[in-house]
Amino acid sequence: MKSAIFWVRLGGGFLVILAVLAVAAPLVSTHDPRAINLPEALLPPSSVHWFGTDSLGRDVFSRLLFGAQISLLIGLGAVGLTLWIGTVLGLLAGWFGGWIDAVIMRIVDIMLCFPSLFLLLAIIAMVGPSLTSIILIIGLTGWMTVTRLVRAEVLSLKEREFIQAARVLGLRAPQIMWRHLLPNALAPVLVSATLGVGTAILIESSLSFLGLGVQPPVPSWGNLLMDAKGTLGVAWWQTLFPGLAILLTVLAFTVVGEGLRDLSRRS
């Protein structure tokens, strides 16, 4: 119990600091993240440019801070959409059962048959890359796990005494689902959401690295790495700092999610 609380606090503390830095990026940043300054291209880390500069002379530290805004926005936005879709479908499948459950779960099975990355690449190639489309696509292709979790919880909860009492009192199905079932089924959903944010950030970084994510000149951690691949053997700082940012952020979300999972199992 104590170890789980420690890791949740450690990971949560890092994420809070990251969120504060991302929100305060215009105040914390010492340079314009989009300003091109070719005479200062590929400068190593120094007191002027803390994380060095890229091949166009742009400050890596400033671009990293503003990229955190984009990465967190995509992660939280995509997971929010995933939770909404997955929770609604899971509640319907678990509560009504029958053909509704069969149809929803067959759709889940079909969606899970497709390799997620290839599905994302195919959809983005059709609709075009943009911040909004990336959030929508990640959200619309990642709800299946949440649906399964909510359905399993509802199947377990709907036979409990307090649900039977609500039925006897004459409450309608929507009232029972939203007032009684959903609050008691949220624990595994919140754990899945925490882990899902890290996954969404990784997906966005992968897409941006391939040139199908957030498009320049808007900075994101993925396209910072894409910009750095041409100078990999010359400017090590271009890959180190964005890579560390992605690693530590995804690790923090994972640690928080695993800690919450341990706490929910022991409570």
The per-residue pLDDT for range 240-254, each reduced to its tens digit, is 999 999 999 999 998
Domain that holds residue 113: 2-34+47-266
In a domain, 169, yes or no: yes
pLDDT on residue 244? 93
Write the CATH number for 169: 1.10.3720.10
In a domain, 42, yes or no: no
Q: What is the C-alpha separation between 163 and 134, in angstroms, rounded?
A: 39
Q: What is the C-alpha separation between 99 and 89, in angstroms, rounded?
A: 13
In a domain, 39, yes or no: no
- Tokens 């509560």 locate to 95
pLDDT on residue 1? 64
77 touches 254 (CB < 8 A) = no
pLDDT on residue 205? 86
Alpha helices in the chain (DSSP H): 2-23, 25-28, 60-96, 98-113, 116-127, 131-140, 144-157, 161-168, 173-176, 182-184, 186-209, 221-228, 236-266
Low-confidence ranges of the chain (pLDDT < 50): none
The per-residue pLDDT for range 35-92, each reduced to its tens digit, is 888 888 888 998 888 999 888 899 999 999 999 999 899 999 999 999 999 999 999 9
In a domain, 227, yes or no: yes
DSSP class of 212? S
Q: Is 233 exposed, middle or buried (0-12, 13-18, 19+ CB in 10 A)?
A: exposed
214 touches 134 (CB < 8 A) = yes
pLDDT on residue 265? 67
pLDDT on residue 267? 58
In a domain, 41, yes or no: no
> What total of structural domains would you count in the chain?
1
- Tokens 């941006």 locate to 208
- Tokens 């890791």 locate to 7
